[in-house]
Amino acid sequence: MQTLTITRPDDWHLHLRDGAALASTVSDVSVNFARGMVMPNLSPPIVNTAQAQVYREKILAARPPDSDWQPLMTLYLTDNTAAEEITRAQASGFIHGVKYYPAGATTNSDAGVSHIGKASKVLERMQEIGMPLQIHGEVTDPDIDIFDRETVFIDRILMRLVKRFPELKIIVEHITTSNAVEFVTNSDKNISATITPQHLLFNRNHLLAGGIRPHFYCLPVLKRSTHQQALIDAATSGDSRFFLGTDSAPHTRASKESACGCAGCYSHHAAIQLYAEVFARADALDKLEGFASHFGADFYNLPRNSSKITLRRQAWQLPQASRLGNEEMTPLYAGETLQWQAENDAD
Ligand code: NCD
Ligand code: ZN
């Protein structure tokens, strides 16, 4: 296969940041994608509908001329979120989810939920009105090994949550383990998961063997290759509960190349091309369109896109650097060669 035309994809989990960064991040995402679920972990976080509206306007204003790329907004769940806020968010028409960060689990998550029991009323309301819950599925207990934090979260928190709210729509974000794949596979249709390009292309050897490589550091952290293979199998299976969410998370080069480097990989310099690489290597390019362009929209009850993009088999070298406002960052797989280009790249 030399070319592949698919419905224009959507990204169901990404970080655009704020301020000067927006011009760079929004212009990158709008090249090949139609819509993106914009994570609310700004500082301070986006905790209500009014803040989401202001943030959305800024994002829309940062789009390149003629772009019709659409931001989909989500609220940051805290111990103080009120059930009424969920109803307001639903009524806004532009908020499509609520994001649950266990407090302290990742970048800008300090204001997250200290104990999920505190959110019972909110979760009840979400279940009732069909508002999806997007979960960063890691425990934060310092006694739990960082490589086990997702699995322990599933066992201790997620299983109980699903029992207590059996109709709640849940997206387990950026899954990294065979345990998470199994959990979703054995669940009902209201449970789904997003998968990032870094967790499909790499494992913890890429991060740690032969030297520490901070640009592969994200949360949840890369796991061993058997988990990577389970994710590849899930993404390329055609099971509609697994869909695209890049978790593209920009950080300046200086903040990652540091004694205490930030968590997050930037992938919107080449997101669909990175996924195409995975699907091509797995001989499953025929499954890319469902994963990238259909299943997420279906899960969120949004229409599928009508426009298309074309991928072409032609080797190209990824840039060494991307802009992040007035600074530079090192994007995922910088300087390496990919086999697939998107139509827009050749313009
Ligand atoms: C994300 C970020 O930088 O905002 N970092 C990451 O490692 N993925 C936050 C997140 O989604 O966990
Ligand atoms: Zn994220």
- Spell out, as residue ranges, where the chain has pLDDT lower than 50: 345-347
- State in Å: Cα 209 to ligand 1 middle: 22
- State in Å: Cα 342 to ligand 2 middle: 24
Pocket test for ligand 1, best of 37, 219, 332 (most atoms within 8 A of CB): 219
Residue 1 confidence (pLDDT): 83
Non-local CB neighbours of 94 within 8 Å, separated by 6+ positions: 52, 53, 56, 71, 72, 73
Non-local CB neighbours of 128 within 8 Å, separated by 6+ positions: none
Residue 184 confidence (pLDDT): 98
CA-263 nearest atom, ligand 1: 7
CA-219 nearest atom, ligand 1: 7
**Which residue has its alpha carbon closest to ligand 1 atom 6?**
264
**DSSP tag of 143:** T
Short-list 243, 241, 261, CA closest to 251? 261
Residue 206 confidence (pLDDT): 98
What is the pTM (predicted TM-score) of this model? 0.98
- State in Å: Cα 320 to ligand 1 middle: 21
Residue 246 confidence (pLDDT): 98
- State in Å: Cα 143 to ligand 2 middle: 23
Q: Would you name the residues annotated as active-site residues?
A: 247
Which residues have C-beta atoms less than 6 Å from ligand 1?
15, 41, 106-107, 136, 218-219, 247, 249, 263-264
Residue 234 confidence (pLDDT): 99
Pocket test for ligand 1, best of 14, 18, 106, 146 (most atoms within 8 A of CB): 106
Residue 69 confidence (pLDDT): 98
Smallest-distance ligand from the CA of 250? 1
Q: What are phi and psi of 210, to 5 degrees?
A: 75, 15
- Chain centroid to Cα 328, Å, comes to 22
Q: What are phi and psi of 198, to 5 degrees?
A: -70, -35
Pocket test for ligand 1, best of 107, 136, 329, 332 (most atoms within 8 A of CB): 107
**Which residue has its alpha carbon closest to ligand 1 atom 11?**
247
Q: What SS3 state is found at 316? A: strand
Non-local CB neighbours of 82 within 8 Å, separated by 6+ positions: 121, 122
Smallest-distance ligand from the CA of 245? 2
- State in Å: Cα 13 to ligand 1 middle: 10
Are the CB atoms for 36 and 267 separated by under 8 Å? no
Residue 344 confidence (pLDDT): 62
Residue 273 confidence (pLDDT): 98
